[in-house]
Each structure stands twice: as C-alpha cells, then as structure tokens.
Amino acid sequence: MKALVFPGQGSQFIGMGKELYDSRKDIKDLMESANEILGFDILSIMFNGTDADLKKTEVTQPSIFIHSVAALKAVNGLGAEMVAGHSLGEFSALVANGVLSFDDGLKLVSERAKAMQDACDANPSSMAAILGLEDAKVEEICAQISGVVVPANYNCPGQLVISGETSAVEEACAKLKEAGAKRALLLPVNGAFHSPLMQPAQERLAAAIENTKFRKATIPVYQNITTTAVTNPDEIKQNLIAQLTGPVKWTQSVQNMIKDGASNFVEVGPGKTLQGLIKKIDGSVDAASAI
C-alpha cells in the first residue's frame, strides 16, 4: 500500500516551490492565490527572500503548506491509500484526503502560525533534540524536572525532541547526558512547540477550526496525537487542536501505518527529512520523494 507523508517546520529553503510554479499554469494559479488569501506576497519570500524572513514561523508554516499542496497537485495524489503529516504537515495531509480545501487549509495554517509565534513571544522557551537514548528514559527524566519540559517529537528510535521552559529544558539536557544520551542539543527556536506552553495558541486555533468546514476523509489520516487511522471529521478537528500542546508521535504513526499495510512511503513537500526518519523506523519499507 502507498502512503503519502507531508513534512513540517524545518524543511523550508530559499527557492522552494519555484520549479513547481514554473511547471504548470494550474499550479501557478494555485500558488498565486496564496498571496491573496494571506494578504502579502509570500511567494517572493519563498522564491527570493532571506533565510531570516523564511524562518519566521508565520512565513515558514504557510510556505511549507503551499509547497506541499503544489507538489501534491503536480503528482495528482499518486493513488495513495493513507496519509500522514509531521506536525504542520498534518494540514497538508488533510488537503490530500479531501478533508480541507487549499484555501481553508492555508487560512488555518496561517492562524496557527501567528498564534504559535505570539505564544512564543509571550513566554520565551526552548526545544532540544535528544539523541541515542530510549524514549522511556527521556520521559522518565523529563517527569523528574520541576519546571515545564515534555517529550514533543518522537521522530524515530533514538531521536526525541523535548520542549518547555528554557531552564527546565537545559536542566533536562544535563540529566539526559548523565543518563547516557549521545547528544542533547538546544534547537534554534524561540518557543516550546507541542508543550503545555502552547495553550494560548491552542485556544485560538480551536476557534478557527470550529469555523472551518471539514469533510469526511476519502482515505485515512494517521494523526500525530492518536497515531491511528482517522476518517471522522469531528475526530480530526479535535486531534488537530490537541496536537498543539501534545507530542508528535511520528515513530508510532509510521509503525501503525506499516502494520496496516503501508510498504511504499512518498514524501510530498520540501526536503527529505521524513524519508530518513521512516528508514530509521523500519528499513524494510520504501521511502522516496514525490518529485
């Protein structure tokens, strides 16, 4: 079975989407509509902007969504039987399985990004990548820290990102190194994504989601929070909302997709990050780029 997977924040690069834009008129029209929806020229930043501009959350997230949906259009869905997305990528996945329109998805992604940025600005915080330690040990040590620090991204076996208050993240990193982690690296982000500190953003996103039309999925989406196949639009809404303060369980999602028959994973969007993670989760499956 074929599964489409969609990347999240961190996969952006200057020039992203330009070849797609130039390839077909219908894709060009789709991408140009994003400027009107967002109210600013995001394509110029994607194609010719600076790294600093592209790294702003309110630009990064819509840019990756636009690129991913344009790439999906270029390959016409590839006859997939299931979809999933890493964090932000879940919105792209919901366009792929018919739950959201491009316009509605982009509006939600934009609101999500702005809300997350505002939450970051209000409460500066951090994330760190922990390499070479069992998930259970990372969970155990995070639970022992007095401040807010939680597992945020279960990317693949031996690679887990933690998130929370800067002092708590730093303390956790020190203890995780003592416990045998090969590396504990603070990430260049100014916010604690997928942690309780995103509560204000979650409330804003929930209001936007409740005012958006969600259709029944044509094929299942394996959501970050539940890690299992979902098609009911009401469940999908609640899982999207919960995702902002809960962990991205990518390892478990991919494992469940494989258990349910996925053997061919196609990454749709910028970069090749997810292919690498999938190969580390299970080296027996195929994983490649859509374009």
Alpha carbon distance 162, 1 (integer Å):
32
Question: Is position 194 annotated as part of the catalytic site?
Answer: yes
Pairing relationship of beta strands 125-131 and 159-165 according to DSSP bridges: antiparallel
* Pairing mode of beta strands 264-267, 229-230: unpaired
Catalytic residue among 126, 194, 195, 253: 194
Inter-residue long-range contacts of 227-235, CB under 8 Å, 24+ positions, other chains counted: 227/252, 227/253, 227/255, 227/256, 228/256, 229/82, 229/256, 229/260, 233/99
Token look-up 């939450």 returns 119
Cα distances (Å, whole numbers) of residue 16 to 46, 200, 231, 234: 6, 31, 31, 33
Bridge partner list, 85: 6
**Active site includes 87?**
yes
Amino acid at 13: F
Is 257 within 8 Å of 224 (Cβ atoms)? no
Q: Which two tokens stand for residue 18?
A: 């330009």
Going from the C-alpha of 262 to that of each of 7, 80, 290, the distances in angstroms are: 18, 10, 16
**Which residue of the set 87, 92, 126, 195 is catalytic?**
87
Active site residues: 87, 194
